[in-house]
Chain A
């Protein structure tokens, strides 16, 4: 009781102290609202946004009130949900799926005093809209190093969701990193045309395994591919979006984890302090948005060392997964020796790099 009062007084004092210096819009309490495209316990994308939200909430305690809505269909419904959130007094609204892009910008135009944050999009039509994304391809370069060294059949498989730049850069990153440590590798790509359809993901994994693939990367959200790998017994896989430790030490030998918590804490904090500004953020392993799950005991020590080396290089900025010389699939030169890819090229990547077989579906 005593401590609480003390803390409250301290907070009040701080508030007063800042009140004079910081922006006049600083808030004592903020309301942060989130919309998810899937259920908050989908085991992948939406769940990891939700967990970050809970971490953010725990970080700020009573100062931040959180509201969220799950399984919001993209389109008209998203627009209504966000409008109602704005009306209910949300100070900042996070729209956590690409498909909410137009809806976010439309609502932002109507509520200039509310801040909007759109994940993975590129449209910022109003001053109160920011976008944010994570450099998952950095994580894929690390896991692909492990996969490239651990494969026995030299056949790698990639389960893609939709042929969009985000996924294609992941495919390219995996191929390049694996090829670097094992020139013999081949990569087969299967498109599920869904972000989340466990039965189809399982079928896709099975099709890969049936044709001799023994390392599977997935760009869909469920754990179904890991379950298929487990059934097969000699197939390596990775946690996607989540750590998925329950499948360790084998088939899950490592994972790429989305951690949006640092970003959410920072942005909600900016709203509290009245210092929120429009931005376009694309962070990776170095700032903690992308985390690499523990290398399991099934990974040989030399492979671990190699993967760690790649990861350290990315964190230090000495290694970029897309560094020249690099040709496109058709053999035309894309990056010259030593040149690294620009963010703009990366964000619009719609081609395979040289060596990947097959075509991107149109």
Chain B
């Protein structure tokens, strides 16, 4: 009889070993799938995991792209992890990401075509506030009425998606765009552009902000009272209340902060790599970030690594698609497998597996 015994604290060894093990298992399972599709499994695995980093032809371009892809994932996931630690489940980051982009875009379009250094900071502020307010809706409803924040934040994603489509084909449509859906291109309007800070590095302000968020979250959780309260609430809600933590304030802080970071991620994306408000602007970063936060075990460093790993599978997956003619579907299935293995093996860090005789009922 196999029995699970919860570890008092997660095992450090297993925390380090399980992701590697999961990647190896995915390589085996995925390799079998690629082989079944008539491709050379070794070549496919190498293209996904090795080529974006070390291939002479691509790496100089792909490595910075890892940051571009991982930036928003990390930024959103850091915000989410705060709430997740306190047992506050904001899974509507996708909606907050969209609203941040829309709010920031509205400011940018308002000023178009004026020049001015103040425009971009205002857009960032608007993105932050837009995402924060959208995140505060489920927060406030939870505080006032006890409404389940998981469901409300999720429902607000659909609302935001509809609003995005309405903006792209309506109010924000580019008047010079020949009637096609989509706003003006912010990356091409100097005052609103979020370009690479140093050409060829992939580092735009969103990526920088993501790194700052990682450090800030690390400091917050290790050194700051708020971080302590967050952790305490997650581990022992009753104890937290006795020690004077206000659950309502905590809900609002966590929902607001995660919404704000997601909103900023949306703004940096729409002014940089994305370029414009369009119907497919939301490419699922908000949902993927939920996975990134949990794969990173809600630890800022873990999130950084998880974000980069996921970005690697995206970029490597793209390479594998056109270099080896692998169908896109197989890359999606491959990523799904990776997530399954990572989630499944997580057990090993939190629980000890004991082989024991079946206990007689007491």
Contacts and interface: CB of A to CB of B under 8 A. Distances in A.
User: Do A and B touch each other in the complex, judged by CB within 8 A?
Assistant: yes
Interface of A: 33, 39, 67-71, 73-77, 79-81, 83-85, 87-89, 98-99, 102, 122, 162-165, 168, 193, 347-348, 350, 361-362
A258 to B, nearest CB: 19
Contacts of A80: 65, 68, 315, 318
Interface string B272-310: 111110101101000000000000000000000000000
B283 A73 contact: yes
A51 to B, nearest CB: 16
A163 B179 contact: yes
Interface residues of B, number: 37
A77 B321 CA distance: 13
Contacts of A89: 57
A76 B323 CA distance: 20
A350 B327 contact: no
Contact of A33 (B181, B269, B322): B322
Nearest to B273: A76
B283 A88 contact: no
B121 interface: no
Nearest to B281: A75
Chain B binding surface SS class: loop
Nearest to A348: B178
Contacts of B328: 39, 69-71
B180 interface: yes
Contacts of B283: 73, 75, 77
Interface of B: 57-58, 61-62, 65, 68, 165, 169-170, 178-182, 185, 187-188, 269, 272-276, 278, 280-281, 283, 315, 318-319, 321-323, 325, 327-329
Given A74-B278, A75-B280, A165-B179, A87 B169 contact: no
B319 A67 contact: no
B335 to A, nearest CB: 14
B178 A88 contact: no
23 contacts: A68-B325, A70-B328, A71-B328, A74-B280, A75-B276, A75-B278, A75-B283, A76-B68, A76-B273, A76-B275, A80-B65, A84-B58, A84-B319, A87-B57, A88-B58, A98-B180, A102-B275, A163-B179, A164-B180, A165-B178, A168-B179, A347-B178, A348-B179
B185 to A, nearest CB: 5
Nearest to B58: A87
Contact of B169 (A77, A83, A98, A361): A361
A81 B328 CA distance: 13
A164 B181 contact: yes
B275 A88 contact: no
Contacts of B318: 69, 77, 80-81, 84
Question: Quick one: which of A69, A85, A122, A168 has the most chain B CB within 10 A?
Answer: A69
A144 to B, nearest CB: 22
Contacts of B323: 67, 88
A163 B178 CA distance: 10
B203 to A, nearest CB: 15
B180 to A, nearest CB: 5
Nearest to B173: A362
B322 A84 contact: yes
A76 to B, nearest CB: 3
A165 B180 CA distance: 8
A295 to B, nearest CB: 33
Contact of A73 (B178, B280, B325): B280
Contact of B321 (A70, A83, A87, A362): A70
A124 to B, nearest CB: 14
A362 B58 contact: no
B185 A102 contact: yes
Contacts of A162: 169, 180-181
Given A84-B61, A87-B58, A67 B178 contact: no
Contact of A69 (B178, B275, B321): B321
Contacts of B329: 39
